[in-house]
Amino acid sequence: MFWKTTGRILIVIPFALIMAMAAALFVLVTLGLERITAFLHVNPIGDEDVETIFAVMNQGFMLAASITLVPALLMVIVGEVAGIRSLAYYVVGGGIALAAIPLLARFGQSGAIASGEALVWQVFATAGFAAGFVYWLIAGRNA
């Protein structure tokens, strides 16, 4: 019993979390690149702005990685402690946790939500759904 629990906590759960974050990153990058490419076709950039764009993208990736880690860890901890095995919990919870990030990023701003922000919500929610599903496949079924 001790070794089974220890192996689950030290091996299975971290591996499942890493794979879920990789799935979320894959979805964010692929769907995000589609949006960026569509924007660049409408608004081409000059050669002098390329370095600035790469610096902003680097900062954006680091910010997204640090912000998305907290909701994912909360979902995993609650699911493991409560012993939740439901696919719906992990998929919907992951989607809600990541879709809340753009909402929290606009905290304090007034006005209606623009259509561009709705696209960002869709991408983040889809990434959360994928991450929740991957985590459930690896570790959530046996919580």
Number of domain units in the chain: 1
Average pLDDT value for residue range 120-132: 86
Statement: residue 104 has pLDDT above 80:
no
pLDDT digits (tens, 9 = 90+) for 64-100: 677 777 777 888 888 888 888 899 998 998 888 888 7
Statement: residue 46 has pLDDT above 80:
no
- Domain of residue 92 covers 2-142
The reply to whether the predicted model has a pTM over 0.85 is no
CB-based contact 128:97 (threshold 8 Å): yes
Q: What Rg, from alpha-carbon coordinates, does the chain have?
A: 18
Residue type, 5: T
Pairwise CA distance, residues 143 & 123, whole Å: 28
Q: What's the confidence (pLDDT) of residue 120?
A: 75
* CB atoms inside a 10 Å sphere around CB 125: 21
Q: What is the 3-state secondary structure (H, E, C) of 81-124?
A: HHCCCCHHHHHHHHHHHHHHHHHHHCCCCCCCCCHHHHHHHHHH
